[in-house]
Amino acid sequence: MDTACKKDKIYVFIVCYITNLDAFKKVLAAHQENFSDIILVNNSPEISLDSFQSSQVTIINNPDNIGLASALNMGILEAKKQGAEMVALFDQDTLLPSDFLQNMLKHINAYQDLKKPALFSPSYFNHVINNYGSIINFKPFRLIRSKPDKQKLIIHPHYVITSGSFIPISVLDDVGLMREELFIDFVDIEWCLRARAKGYEIVSFPQLEIAHHLGDSAVTFMGTNYPIHSPLRMYYYFRNAMYLYRLREIDWNWRLVDSARNLFRFLFYMLFVKNRFTYFKYIIKGYYHGLIKKMGKLEE
């Protein structure tokens, strides 16, 4: 990094939706231990977060669920208005160790590479499947999935999940904000692919770790746990995938490999997940809406 990243110039924001307030108290307390300025973007108007308001915590209440991408952009713009030089993005169920920011800053400020960093990210342990989240890289016509190598200081995946991402404001000014028509799912993947296309590098620190919950439940197949999402989330997943496959600016190799993976994902849900007919309806609707570019929030 050309200049040192300082704690008071990092604004963290957490997108909240149908929040379990008792569980969230622990999550927020861990963030308050680490960060000076926290922005909560509340996408559930029926749930009040006002009790968490303080000099350290700013709350943005939305009148409706505007989606993850729009909420992220809202938080980014607010942080920029308040003078942030970097934003840290988190989900409402991501738990941090007390020394997380201290260690992230140490790694960020020590980073030296010829390629410009798009974002910095820790590894994460997914408590839904009781395993680490995979590191994703693409080779021609294939995807390489691996677990974080704790012996390495730095790795360069092709994309990472939103939660735990530290993004410089200058990069967001260059690459752009999140693609709001996606609403939820593939928001992080699309942004990372877009940043890489502009010559940036995704930087991950495998020795740093956060606790995360990805998925609603898990299914075990051949000794491996796989996260399972709701039918509605599968609608957005397959819709947004189809939508991105049709965009010429998206990396061709990612489109090819991911479309093949989605065929296997569809078969997995049809064979091994309960309520298959419900999943089938939502997935097919998602494919169709992605094909005709009917985006945004699904109105049922």
* Boundary of a domain, candidates 212, 228, 245: 212
Q: List, for the chain, all residue ranges whose pLDDT scores fall below the cut of 70.
A: 1-3
**Is residue 299 in some structural domain?**
no
Q: Could you write out the DSSP letters of every residue in 109-161?
A: HH---SSEEEEEEEEEEETTTTEEPPEEEEETTEEEEE---TT-S-B--SB--
Residues 204, 105 share a domain: yes
Q: Residue 16 corresponds to which amino acid?
A: C
Residues 231, 175 share a domain: no
DSSP 242: H
* Number of domains, the chain: 2
Residues 244, 205 share a domain: no
Q: What digits encode the pLDDT tens for the residues 129-171?
A: 999 999 999 999 999 999 999 999 999 999 999 999 999 999 9
Give the residue numbers spanning the domain of 31.
7-212
Residues 83, 30 share a domain: yes
Q: Looking at residue 261, what is its pLDDT? A: 93
CA distance 117 to 119: 6
Q: Could you tell me how far CA 48 lies from the centroid of its own chain?
A: 24
Report if pTM > 0.85: yes
CATH of the domain at 112: 3.90.550.10
Residues 195, 66 share a domain: yes
**Is residue 62 in some structural domain?**
yes
Residues 227, 203 share a domain: no
**Is residue 300 in some structural domain?**
no
Q: Looking at residue 2, what is its pLDDT? A: 55
CA distance 163 to 124: 9
Instruction: Give the C-alpha distances (Å, rounded to integers) separating 147 from 103, 109, 124.
Output: 21, 25, 10
Give backbone dihedrals phi and psi of 102, rounded to 5 degrees, phi first: -55, -45
Q: Looking at residue 3, what is its pLDDT? A: 58
Residues 222, 208 share a domain: no
Structure tokens, 192:
């990372």
**Is residue 283 in some structural domain?**
yes
Q: Looking at residue 284, what is its pLDDT? A: 98
* Boundary of a domain, candidates 212, 240, 275: 212
**Is residue 152 in some structural domain?**
yes
Residues 89, 230 share a domain: no
3-state DSSP assignment of residue 14: strand
CA distance 77 to 113: 28
